[in-house]
Amino acid sequence: MAHLSGILLLLFLTAVASKSISYDDPVFGQPEQIHISYGLDPSLMVVTWITMNPVNDSIVEYGENGVLNQRATGNVSIFQDSGTEKRREYVHRVVLRNLKPGHRYSYHCGSDVYGWSPLFWFAAMRNDSGFVVRAAVYGDMGKDIAYSMPRLQEETQLGHFDLILHVGDMAYDMNSDNARFGDEYMNAIESIAGYIPYMTCPGNHENAYNFSQYTAKFSMPSSMNTFGGDANHFYSFNVGSAHIIGFSTEFYYFTEYGFDQIINQYQWLEQDLRKANQPANRARYPWIITMGHKPMYCSNSDDNDCLTTEGYSYVRNGLPFVEAYGLEKLFAQYGVDLEFWAHEHSYERLWPVYNSTVHNGTKGAYIDPDAPVHIVTGSAGCPERHDPFGIPRSWTAYRNNDYGYSRMNIYNASHLYLEQVSDDKGGKVVDSMWLIKSKHGPYSYFE
The footprint of Fe ion (CB under 5 A) covers 169, 203-204, 343
Backbone φ and ψ of 232, nearest 5°: -70, -20
CA-based torsion, 322, 325, 328, 330: positive or negative:
positive
Neighbours of 183 (CB within 10 A): 23
**Partner whose footprint covers residue 343, from Fe ion, ligand NAG, none (CB < 5 to 8 Å by kind):** Fe ion
List helix spans (H) across 291-347: 304-307, 313-317, 328-333
Total of chain residues touching ligand NAG, rule CB under 6 A: 25
Whole-number Å distance between alpha carbons of 70 and 107: 9
Tell me whether residue 148 or residue 406 sits nearer to ligand NAG (CB atom): 406
Contacts of 333 (CB under 8 A, 6+ apart): 273, 442, 446
Is 48 one of the binding residues for ligand NAG (CB under 6 A)?
no
- Least distance from ligand NAG to the Cβ atom of residue 369, Å: 9
- Edge-first strand order for the sheet with 198-200 is 198-200, 163-166, 133-138, 404-410, 415-422, 428-436
Residues 60-79 touching ligand NAG, rule: CB under 6 A, are 74-75
Taking CB under 6 A as the rule, does residue 126 contact ligand NAG? no
**Site map (CB under 6 A) of ligand NAG, residues 216-255, x = contact:** --------------x-------------------------
Q: Nearer to ligand NAG by C-beta: 70 or 153?
A: 70
Q: How far apart are CB 286 and ligand NAG at their closest, in Å? A: 11
Give the span between the Cα atoms of 286 and 233, in whole angstroms. 24
Q: State the alpha helices, DSSP H only, in 24-118.
A: none
Q: Which is nearer to ligand NAG, 369 or 378 (CB)?
A: 369
Could you say whether residue 210 binds ligand NAG (CB under 6 A)? yes
Nearer CB in complex with ligand NAG: 53/178: 53
Q: Give the span between the Cα atoms of 247 and 375, in whole angstroms.
A: 16
Alpha-carbon 309 to chain mean position = 27
CB of 146 closer than 8 Å to CB of 380: yes
Which among ligand NAG, Fe ion, none contacts residue 437 (Cβ within 5 to 8 A by kind)? Answer: none
- The DSSP 8-state label assigned to residue 238 in this structure reads E
Q: Contact region for ligand NAG (CB under 6 A) — 41-49, 80-88, 270-278, 382-390? A: 41-49
In whole angstroms, the minimum distance from the beta carbon of 4 to ligand NAG comes to 36
The H-assigned helical ranges of 73-116 are none
Select the residue whose beta carbon is closest to Fe ion and give its number.
Answer: 343
Tell me how far, at minimum, the Cβ of 436 lies from ligand NAG, in Å: 9
Q: Of 45, 47, 60, 95, which lies in the binding site for ligand NAG, with binding defined by CB under 6 A?
A: 95
The 10 Å Cβ neighbour count of residue 388 is 12
Question: What pairing do the DSSP bridges indicate for beta strands 357-358 and 353-354?
Answer: antiparallel
Site string for ligand NAG, 138-177 (x = CB under 6 A): ----------------------------------------
Phi, psi of 318 (to 5 degrees): 105, 175
Residue 365's binding partner out of Fe ion, ligand NAG, none, with CB under 5 to 8 Å set by partner kind? ligand NAG
Least Cα distance to 245 among 226, 266, 214 occurs for 266
Cβ-in-10-Å burial (0-12, 13-18, 19+) of 57 comes to: middle
Give least dist CB 389 to ligand NAG, A: 18
Binding residues for ligand NAG, rule: CB under 6 A, are: 41-43, 54, 56, 74-75, 95, 101, 127, 210, 215, 230, 257-258, 329, 351, 355, 358, 360, 365, 411-412, 414-415
